[in-house]
């Protein structure tokens, strides 16, 4: 990925101001089926992950979105103990 000069300057400023606790190196492939986004993510020093995100501009459809995500969770045979609620940086820090 290419960074613009502004991104590099911002990154340097943030690193100098706050330091770096941990860096997450990952490779991501993104796929869409209608309004559902699937990210296939390889995280260095961790594992491979799938992120499933259903999107809408209508907040009254939240139940439908949960149902769609659960449909894909069942389809991919993702068990509750395989669902991760922590960030990749948290997982790396715990490793």
Q: Where are the domains of the chain?
A: 25-83
Q: In what order do the strands lie in the sheet with 26-33?
A: 26-33, 36-43, 48-54
pLDDT in tens, 82-93: 999 999 999 999
Span 30-59, pLDDT tens digits: 999 999 999 999 999 998 999 999 999 888
| The model's pTM | 0.76
Q: What are the residues whose beta carbons fall under 8 Å from the beta carbon of 34, sequence distance 6 or more?
A: none
> pLDDT grade, residue 28 (50/70/90)?
very high
pLDDT at 49: 96
């Amino acid at each position: 990925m290419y960074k613009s000069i502004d991104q590099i300057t911002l990154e340097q400023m943030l690193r100098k101001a706050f330091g770096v606790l941990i860096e997450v190196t990952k490779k991501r492939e993104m796929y869409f089926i209608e309004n559902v986004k699937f990210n296939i993510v390889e995280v260095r020093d961790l594992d491979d992950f799938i992120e499933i995100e259903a999107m809408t501009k209508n907040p009254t459809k939240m139940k439908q979105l949960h149902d769609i995500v659960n449909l894909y969770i069942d389809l991919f045979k993702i068990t509750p103990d395989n669902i991760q609620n922590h960030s990749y940086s948290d997982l790396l820090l715990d490793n």
